[in-house]
Amino acid sequence: MTAALPAPTAAAAAPSRWWRDAVIYQVYVRSFADSDGDGVGDLPGITARLPHLAALGVDAVWLTPFYASPQADGGYDVADYREVDPLFGTLADADRLIATAHEHGLRVIVDVVPNHTSDRHAWFRGALAGGPERDLYHFRPGKGTDGQLPPNDWESVFGGPAWTRTTDPDGTPGDWYLHLFAPQQPDLNWENPAVHAEFDSILRFWLERGVDGFRVDVAHGMVKAPGMPDIGAREQAKMIGSQVLPFFDQDGVHAVHRNWRRLLESYGGERIGVAEAWAPSPERLALYVRPDELHQAFNFQFLGCPWDAEAMRAVVDASLAAAGSVGAPTTWVLSNHDVVRHLSRYGAGDDALGLRRARAAALLMLALPGSAYLYQGEELGLPEVTDLPDEVRQDPSFFRTDGQDGLRDGCRVPIPWEGEEAPYGFGTAAGWLPQPASWRSLSVAAQTGDADSTLELYRRALRLRKELDGLGDGGMRWQQSPPGLLDLVRPGFRCTLNTGPLPVQLPRPGSLLLSSAHLAADGETITLPADSCAWWAI
Ligand code: NOJ
């Protein structure tokens, strides 16, 4: 077992700035491990499986929302931020999970969802009943002769208008309310100081229970442009991440993050905030991680980068330059619960090709300076599940776009732990989404001890990353390399990546530490196979 963490409130030692090179493992709570046989993952299930994460060698765990919620959007619709949903356990289970993780030397990051609540939250129910809570949300009269048209042209990220009309207590059509996501997720009005006060209090509630930080959902969304102007264009979801919109990446959000940084620092133990922010450029993303704002932001440019050495080099350089300009660490992420798993993105229909690339990409990511996020199951080489029947799907955007979009269930299938038959140790009953039969050979037990398995590749990479001086936070440079290749040099270390379709011969770069595929050597010449990556000691 790894050394237990010091109690977060212990007298301040010299800061470790642990987050600057931490490897953080995302647990999608409903799909990790089910302890009570209802087919849905839960907190006690995670606690029981923490030894897997300690043995894997990650530094921290990020848990997706497990709060009281009607589950209209996988728990990102919170009805009570201080309660655990009975589906996932109890507050005592959360306390046990946090304490056990700390005993294993793992920090715990939880999600906070400040852009919107559930429509079942007491505030929104009060608002619908005409109470003073109305000003905690965005209610507006509609346009048109009878107010029958939405107040502006904003579209929901999940498809359709971002406004839903309410019915007044007397049964007549009333005002509209804003929801940038599903109608069950009304947006909060961050112009109202009561919203700020409530979220300060929620953060304190979880900090006092011992969490080490927060992943801030839609950290770019809380503040809307004054007057909520029309955008004048359709398909606005496609504009997210490429331009500032009147509802996303408004400068006003930074005041909220500055306040939270002060709050986090008022607690001992180096608690952190991580922005889930979709910003149009690395430079605008860097604004979220200025020294007085959040500690990290997800680097979605890296996630979105095609399998191409030149493109990857450009993203790495731009990311390092932007984060470095404000003194923040860069983060790297390849998959999460909202996107097609990277194995399947890289494979484009060919899972064997995708796996080779995914293994190579993991070694590149873990060789880069900064902090890396792993999404549960990527250490097993899980592909996206593309043939889920419509009747088992739960992603709200699937239903709001007639199945055109919102295929996020395929990356959320419960992960396989052991055994010959589904649910492969996930629990005792069938999981909430069916697992493919091919996952029998991908379980943790099936891969453990197999030196060629993806799980053992991740374990060795994470161990080496800790052992090698100079990996993690720190500098890097590129060595000149032929097209299709990346050759990254760090103190005592070199990483060579071949994204091309053909093997490439190279003078031996150093002594081999680890590779994603078998390398052939002939004297001082080595052959780096297509779609492979190798680590070298130099
Ligand atoms: C981002 C979360 O990752 C996603 O799952 C969720 O649907 C939206 N934010 C809305 O909360």
φ, ψ at 117 (rounded to 5°): -110, -175
Taking residue 205's Cβ as centre, other Cβ atoms within 10 Å add up to: 12
* pLDDT score at 453: 98
pLDDT at 1: 46
- Structure tokens, 465: 């990353």
Nearest-CA residue for atom 5 of ligand 1: 338
State the distance from the centre of ligand 1 to the C-alpha of 157, rounded, in angstroms: 10
What's the pTM value of the predicted model, to 2 decimals? 0.97
DSSP code of 243?
B
Are the beta carbons of 123 and 225 closer than 8 angstroms? Answer: no
**Rounded to an integer, what distance in angstroms lies between the CA atom of residue 201 and that of residue 258?**
16
Bond into 280 cis (ω within 30):
no
Report the pLDDT value the prediction gives residue 123, as an integer from 0 to 100: 98
Distance of CA 175 from the midpoint of ligand 1 (Å): 26
Is the beta carbon of 332 within 6 A of some atom in ligand 1?
no
Question: Left (φ > 0), alpha (ψ -120 to 50) or beta: where does 333 sit?
Answer: beta
Residue 218, ligand 1, Cβ within 6 A: yes
For residue 407, which amino acid is it?
Answer: L
List beta partners, residue 364.
none
Binding site membership of 338 for ligand 1 (Cβ less than 6 Å)? yes
Nearest CA to 294 among 325, 256, 324? Answer: 256
Q: Which of 28, 76, 187, 337 to mutate to test the pocket of ligand 1 (most atoms within 8 A of CB)?
A: 76
pLDDT at 240: 84
In a structure prediction context, what are the per-residue pLDDT tens digits for the chain, which is 538 residues long? 456 776 555 445 688 999 999 999 999 999 999 999 999 999 999 999 999 999 999 999 999 999 999 999 999 999 999 999 999 999 999 999 999 999 999 999 999 999 999 999 999 999 999 999 999 999 999 999 999 999 999 999 998 999 999 999 889 999 999 999 999 999 999 999 999 999 999 999 999 999 999 999 999 999 999 999 999 999 998 888 888 899 999 999 999 999 999 999 999 999 999 999 999 899 999 999 999 999 999 999 999 999 999 999 999 999 999 999 999 999 999 999 999 999 999 999 999 999 999 999 999 999 999 999 999 999 999 999 999 998 999 888 777 766 665 579 999 999 999 999 999 999 999 999 999 999 999 999 999 999 999 999 999 999 999 999 768 888 999 999 999 999 999 999 999 999 999 999 999 999 999 999 999 999 999 999 999 999 999 9
> Other C-beta atoms within 10 Å of 463: how many?
14
State how far the Cα of 533 lies from the Cα of 496, in Å rounded to an integer.
6
Residues annotated as catalytic are 217, 270
> Quick one: which atom of ligand 1 is closest to the CA of 73?
7
